[in-house]
Chain A
Amino acid sequence: MSVDPFRPHSRPGAASASPPTLSPTRRTVLAGALGALATPTLTGCAGLTERVSANAGRRRDRLSVQVYGTDVEVAFYDRLARRFEQSRRGVTVDLVSVPFSEASVGIDAALASGTAPDVFRVDYPTMGVYASADQLLDVGDALSDLRTDISPAFLEAVSHGGRIYGMPQHIDTSGVVYRPDVLRDAGITSVPDRPQDAWSWEEFAQVAQRLTDKAPDGRSAFAVNWQALGAFRWLNWLFQAGGHLYDADQSAATLDTPAARRALDFTSSFFRRGWVPDSTSTKGATLPDAQFTSGTLAMVLAGNFLLPAFSETIGKRFGYAVTYLPQDHRAAGELGGNALVATRGAANPELAADFLAFLGAPAQMRDFCQASVLLPTRSSLLAQRLDFAVADDLMPVYAQQVRTIGERDVADVTTATFAEVNLALANELEQCFLGGRSTGATLSALADAVDQPAGLNDEGGRA
């Protein structure tokens, strides 16, 4: 609405009772000045919040969607959005892409100001905080088809309090990416090619030691992908040792166990024995995949979502292959990946839920995963040999590794407070890895973090 500084009392559509005077009064001048000031200020504010205020129009036939991801993923989201528009006459999908590092902060601010997009992409460990704070739409009914074609573990990842708050679009997990040439030079001639033959921890330790002994100055045997928000990948070792983060009903920490001590002793020995670079600790600022592509690592634990980047960055400089994560008491891999969720305040909840169901349909899920080199959550698709855009020969290893993810493993990383626990994992583990803190003290500090109630999520401050 435009402001006429010389007609402060006129209303749109109302005839003026007297001709306008050309002589400004103090009030009119002040009103005009404030109006002139407010217009660019408020316009500027709109510009600042536009990125997350995609639902500003609040039209029921318009859907705002925020995603993050690689260029390929974002481009494919756009294709799927157009496909949805074509199948739903008159509907428009506004797709906004943001960097992953900014996604959570942007969504938090948008939820606080009531300008959140109708639908947004979120990783499983972070989703719990939104679901438990009652910010998401229950989409259980809309996903009735998907629910019959998905492992209970993956459904658990988007559930909270018995309700389904998101569409688990894809999963990913880690494998051991290695350089056959370096392993061969170190005298390691065979690498597991079946899940049941995965290296035991003892065998993995022998391989690491042999690679370290043969490594030239400035190179290391391997690195683990547990930096920053990936700190929860330390839980792979805990699960493999037969331990868990929470007790069976998710009410308290279970870290005062032989399994937890064994897992922490083993993983801290990576640094003590010089198998991994010190800079790849849980708070490391550089990621190990960059070190692998630069040629300073013989092996790296890396998610399948990195394969396109490996293909592009490494090119033909050296060959690489993938094997299964080591196993101990059992085999285990982490639940990585992302879901799409709808906000509780969506302009058109039915349309938002319909969009999630559309993207969760077999054709859309398959196309997205094939193009982006990600693993689908539908059991029927996981059972098929998909035609991945790159690294088609390496993906079967990951597809088999995700089968080691158990229901209770998933429950451990999707609690209401897991985002905080994940931060505590990064902080406390580093104290042990680099700071020399004892295994017992570290596990005790972690248990304290796990036992913190989800007070901030609840109205009365009670968990």
Chain B
Amino acid sequence: MTTDDVRLVAPAPTETTEPPPPQRRRIRVPVGWLMVAPNLVLIGLFLLVPLVWALIMSFQAKRSFGPGHWSGLENLGRLLGDGVFWRAMLNTGIFTLATVPLSVGIGLGLALLMNDALPGRGFFRTIVYLPIAVSTLVTSLVGLLLFDETVGIVNGVLRDLGLGTVRWQSEGGWAMVTVVVMTLWSRIGFGMLVYLAALQDVDKQVLEAAEVDGAGPFARVRHVVVPWLRPTTFFLVVINLIWSFQVFDIVYVMTNGGPGYSTTMLVTYAYDEGFGAARNFGYGATVGLVLFVLTLVVTAVQLAVNRRREV
């Protein structure tokens, strides 16, 4: 029984002959549980139940409607021999490797730039942060407007400059570049903002001491600021990893996974299988679960590495 539980508080014994006061029942309401209950209900309803459901469906051959049947490990077997799945894995890996370091690195660079004496830094901060306040769908449409191979702005400018055009949509490598660029555009503002907040906690005295010891600006950043920001960096790396694994809307709108399967990611593939024309909920759920396990493992490894460093 915990202290949050309801208790009856009996009146203290008295030696007087006066009649005892009427019994009052005092209730200690489980405030803590009431506080977290909404979140627990929502997490249970919209996270845990679908997760377990997806696990069950991964053992079924089933559409979203109509009859289905248990298929054992058939979906997993198909997955292991599915070239498109492995291509999606590779693409997700490449995309993650490209976006996570760049998001964090550029975010740090911009934060350092805008933390100090940059003129009009309030304006520039807003400019950099603005894309994060805009829906990624809008960002994707802007990307489409920029990188459309035929009527896009970038190719139009390149053509006017006499530099020729780039096959942004019909050449796999370039298509991946467009997706990475638009993702960075939508993300670096977040990294900058978090780093800006963290930079306020860097001890000025330590920086001054480093300066007195002869450390230049780059040495101070490298040996004082960056180590100081390690917890922030860890947070940003983990959150960017998860975002990169879950990339969907930018790819879906800008390239539709193409050309071929050059930009097909795990989530777009899971969506296409589960909700696209195939309507194969079972197989889509299997791809989704692989993504879940992958994210879990990478985050756990990051956590372990970070703990070891802290020790």
Residues of A within 8 A of B (CB): 23-26, 29-30, 33-34, 37, 41, 105, 108-109, 111-112, 126, 129, 133-135, 217-218, 220, 228-229, 277-279, 281, 283-286, 290-291, 294, 296, 419-420, 422-423, 427, 430-431, 434-435, 455-461
Contacts and interface: CB of A to CB of B under 8 A. Distances in A.
Interface of B: 5-6, 25, 27, 29-30, 34, 37-38, 41-42, 45, 61-69, 71, 84, 144, 148-151, 155, 159, 165, 167, 169-171, 253-261, 272, 275-280
27 contacts: A37-B41, A41-B45, A108-B64, A108-B279, A111-B66, A112-B64, A112-B65, A218-B155, A228-B256, A277-B150, A278-B149, A278-B167, A278-B171, A278-B259, A279-B148, A279-B149, A284-B258, A285-B169, A285-B256, A286-B150, A286-B169, A294-B151, A420-B277, A431-B260, A455-B61, A456-B68, A457-B66
A455 B63 CA distance: 10
A214 B6 CA distance: 87
A228 B276 CA distance: 11
Contacts of B67: 133, 458-459
A105 B275 contact: yes
Contacts of A294: 150-151
A99 to B, nearest CB: 13
A291 B151 CA distance: 7
A286 B27 contact: no
Nearest to A231: B277
Given A229-B277, A456-B66, A456-B68, 13 more contacts: A26-B5, A26-B29, A26-B30, A29-B29, A129-B63, A133-B66, A220-B150, A283-B257, A285-B253, A286-B144, A296-B151, A423-B272, A434-B170
Q: Is the interface of B mostly helix, strand, loop or mixed?
A: loop
A133 B259 contact: no
A277 B165 CA distance: 12
Contact of A33 (B37, B64, B155): B37
A434 B260 contact: yes
A135 B151 contact: no
Q: Is the interface of A mostly helix, strand, loop or mixed?
A: helix
A135 B29 contact: no
Interface centre among A229, A279, A286, A457 (most CB of B within 10 A): A279
Contacts of A456: 61-63, 66, 68, 279-280
Contacts of B149: 277-279
- List of 3 A-B pairs having minimum Cβ-Cβ separation, nearest first: A278-B170, A283-B258, A133-B66
Contacts of B63: 108, 129, 133, 456-457
Nearest to B29: A29
